[in-house]
Chains A and B, each alone.
Chain A
Amino acid sequence: MGMALSLILTVVLVLIPYVGVRVAGLPFLFAAVIPYAAAITFVAGVAGRVLKWARAPVPFRIPTTCGQQKSLPWIRPSRFDNPATPAATVVRVALEVLFFRSLLRNSRFEMREVSPGGLPKLAYFWEKWLWLAGLAFHWSLFVILFRHLRFFTQPVPGPVGWVESLDGFFQAALSSLYLTDVVFLIAVTYLFLRRVTIPQVRYVSLPADYFPLFLIIGIGISGVLMRYFFRVDIVAIKELAMGLVTFRPVVPAGISALFFVHLFLVSTLLAYFPFSKLVHMAGIFLSPTRNLANDSRARRHTNPWNYPVEVHSYDEYEEEFRKQMVHAGIPVEKEDR
């Protein structure tokens, strides 16, 4: 149900710019107004979200430790899975952000029947595919975004060209085939199939999980179509892009509707981003179970809202039990008169 709804919504989103540009004749709306609005929403929304997180204090130091602590000098600590210093913690967070360290541990269990009437046995297997597909998806998306700098810069910075030639190592017909385009589409397809075929994952999935996936697939497909299948006027698109980033938006003639679809889906994603689970991109840096050193017994962590509480003091305790304590020979502060 959620999936169908998300798919219909995505199809509608594909049709809107087509109709808007081809039928209603509103290219400026789709080439400039909407992208600007989306970009502002994205920046303001993400900043607002991060500020909201940052404003909430971290009252306790609660890292999840995933290895040996630093304790006695002759026991080898697990430096990054259980960091003892801020520097090691930076490495831990970097490993999470760049290589999805925690997801790499992922496993899957199986319940196996051994003998009829006997107890089934549990077995665990390393489940690397989610990690691999997730990593491939995020990294290829990053490289693709980086390559897009070609459209927004003049002259194009050197590194963009290097990445392009590296990424386009394989030649396909006349133009080079970008490896990341292929990896991206395979990975995102895997992530989608995984979501619908693993019963548990499907059960927990919301429309809000399918929708960004379809949106991203739509962006990927429209991009690939433009690059490899329907020739679009690159010069005109670059002119439009440069106009946008220099705040002198123009809509050159000859830009195909396919491009407007691509741009509109990107705008939708940007505007949707801060209000959805996609904020995990920023959240991963702030997670208190990962970005704090496990040194809470060595360095005192302060809680800004620590308030006094009602305790049962020793005096009250002794007052109540003095007789029994004296009788049992337990020392007391005040002997009974």
Chain B
Amino acid sequence: MSSLPKPDELARVDHRPRETGWMDTPVEFKRGTWCYPGKPKSLEVLGLPNPRQWSPEDEDWKLPPNWKEIILEGLRERLGRFRSLQLFMDTCVRCGACADKCHFFIGSGDPKNMPVLRAELLRSVYRREFTTAGRLLGKMVGARDLTEQVLKEWFYYFFQCTECRRCSVFCPFGIDTAEITIIARELLNLVGCNIDWIITPAANCFRTGNHLGLLPHAFKDMVEFCTDEIENVTGVRIEPSFNRKGAEILFVAPSGDVFADPGIYTFMGYLMLFEAIGLDYTLSTYASEGGNFGLFTSHEVMKRLNAKIYAEARRLGVKWILGGECGHMWRVLHQYMDTMNGPADFLEEPVSPITGTRFDNARSTKMVHICEFTADLIAHGKLKLDSSRNDQLRVTFHDSCNPARAMGLLEEPRYIIRNVCRHFYEMPESTIREQTFCCGSGAGLGPDENIEIRLRGGLPRANAVRYVREKHGVNTLACICAIDRAALPALMDYWVPGVGVVGVHELVGNALVLPGEGERTTDLRSNPLGGIEGDAHGR
């Protein structure tokens, strides 16, 4: 976008609230902050309501005539279904502890990006329609009518939340804005208000098994492209199987790792790891997507897309499932999959065939995170690693939001990184682990047209990277999420030039010594080994 301001202009954020009260400040659709609406064709594939051509900039959003009833009925239904929603509508005291925890507020200064106000956008309508005090006292108790203006405001701000859950870490009542955003988006979807960067991948995933809509043969081609690259670098030819019945393990990665740079290097890392240990696994073209854009649409679409993983595991007769590096994907796998599409009684409790470790923490869902799997392999000394092959990299680690705050997968990736790299530096405490800052593009907010708000949302993360870059010369940001891998490179180029983005298993792939490999002269990206001039190495 040519209109994008320079970093030092964009970073000067005014955090003072506006003159007018928030209820009296109408939403303004600024270019660079909102996303294009869902294409009617994609809505039709998923059978979602009100497919049409429209734009948030239009006056008329072509809502169904009874849109208000639909939304209010939808809200009533969800209040009865989710205790979380009921509580989060009732218990907020507006203490403001969450206010400056949101990366979008820090980066934009827009008061409605304070989690408390984002939630009040929905709460105000809840109070008006579902509480006596709100019906009688209106504005006094923070209640307001649901109007088209309010609906537009919802669209603007609930598609400006990445469901990262950082605010919920600090809330004394555990109010989780992600939960509120999920349900608000679900309501918006009832009247056909959604964004194309979510709906089209979801529709693709429904039909073809992955977000980009790769057909089975194309998916296989992309994987083979990765194996060609591996052969170029290592001299070892890897032949992964597809849809193979009787394999011990089904491996499901976010499809972004299969087709998008730099995710492909992470995917190469996975394949090399499996080759090194002789794992009996298969990939599936039908369940070729671990990521789940249904989570950003509704609980129902989430379930519909997620169903493929267990269905395919059952059809292929595998024993258990291994999952690649991805953020919201793991929120779904860890907190929703078993409940929605389980019980997975046709699978076996996951046991590492190499080390014999029983993954007790996954005994019901039967799906293991690859970082858990690899950390266990390293701890048992089953991998031959040459960490000097990553000497050109000075690495820091970005905890992806959902593995951190919806799982607690904090040490496993760090353990791996420490074993495959010799230069690892942590960012400041208040920006990592459960307090990690979002990349600013999660929860389906990764298109080009909202780049300004993405860069703003990514500011706190970038600022922390800049800190370790200046202090330790960090040049590499490692992460365990496909959206991070897609979003962070642009973020780094803008805010902290000179920092590359890698998946943890790309680092593993670099360090891993494959049986029968030739001498490596480059890393997986074909950059020469041996470190950059002036870097500390050869100790």
Contact = CB atoms under 8 A, between A and B. Distances in A.
Interface of A: 2, 5, 49, 52-72, 74-78, 81-82, 84, 96, 100, 102-103, 105-109, 111, 117-122, 124, 130, 134, 198-209, 275-277, 279-280, 283-284, 286-290, 294-303, 305-306, 309-314, 317-318, 320-321, 324-325, 327-332
A72 B94 contact: no
16 contacts: A62-B176, A84-B361, A118-B8, A208-B140, A209-B94, A275-B131, A284-B172, A289-B176, A295-B361, A296-B339, A297-B363, A298-B361, A302-B339, A303-B340, A318-B286, A320-B207
A324 B339 contact: no
Given A203-B22, A204-B120, A103 B338 contact: no
Interface in B44-87: 47, 79-87
A305 B81 contact: yes
Interface stretch (B34-42, B264-272, B429-437, B505-513): B429-437
B39 to A, nearest CB: 18
A119 B8 contact: yes
Interface string B204-244: 00111100000111001100000000000000000000111
B334 A296 contact: yes
B133 A275 contact: yes
A209 B82 CA distance: 26
Interface stretch (B253-261, B385-393, B401-409): B401-409
Given A103-B170, A312-B207, A277 B217 contact: no
Contact of B114 (A57, A62, A103, A200): A200
B140 to A, nearest CB: 5
Q: Which of A2, A65, A68, A208 has its CB near the most chain B CB atoms (within 10 A)?
A: A65
Q: Which of A69, A84, A280, A313 has its CB near the most chain B CB atoms (within 10 A)?
A: A69
Contacts of B363: 297-298
Interface string B164-176: 0100111111111
Given A60-B336, A276-B141, 16 more contacts: A53-B90, A72-B357, A81-B434, A103-B95, A130-B95, A203-B117, A208-B141, A209-B93, A275-B132, A297-B333, A297-B334, A303-B339, A310-B47, A311-B304, A324-B215, A330-B216
B75 to A, nearest CB: 13
B498 interface: no
A62 to B, nearest CB: 6
Contact of B91 (A67, A72, A277, A294): A277
Contact of B94 (A54, A277, A328): A277
B472 interface: no
Interface in B348-401: 357, 359-365, 367, 372, 375-376, 379
B459 interface: yes
A147 to B, nearest CB: 25
Given A65-B406, A297-B365, A298-B360, A284 B91 contact: yes
Contacts of B245: 331
Contacts of B528: none
B373 to A, nearest CB: 10
Nearest to A279: B90
A102 B171 contact: yes
Contact of B116 (A71, A204, A280): A204
B174 A290 contact: yes
B141 A206 contact: yes
Interface string B1-32: 00000011001110111100110000000000
Interface residues of B, number: 124
A74 B379 contact: yes
Contacts of B408: 65-69, 77-78, 82, 294
Nearest to A310: B304
Interface of B: 7-8, 11-13, 15-18, 21-22, 47, 79-87, 90-97, 99-101, 106, 111, 114, 116-117, 120, 131-133, 140-142, 165, 168-176, 179, 206-209, 215-217, 220-221, 242-245, 285-286, 299-300, 303-304, 307-308, 311-312, 315, 333-336, 338-340, 342-343, 357, 359-365, 367, 372, 375-376, 379, 404-412, 415, 428, 430-431, 433-435, 459-460, 463-464, 466-467, 495
A64 to B, nearest CB: 5
Main secondary structure of the interface of B (DSSP, over half): helix
A119 B495 contact: yes
B199 to A, nearest CB: 15
B361 A70 contact: yes
A287 B307 contact: no
Contacts of B334: 296-297
Nearest to A6: B140
A53 B86 contact: yes
Contacts of A65: 404-408, 434
A294 B334 CA distance: 9
B311 A311 contact: yes
Contacts of A59: 81-82, 299, 339
A201 B93 CA distance: 11
A64 B407 CA distance: 8
Contact of A64 (B92, B176, B333): B176
B285 A69 contact: no
A305 B340 CA distance: 10
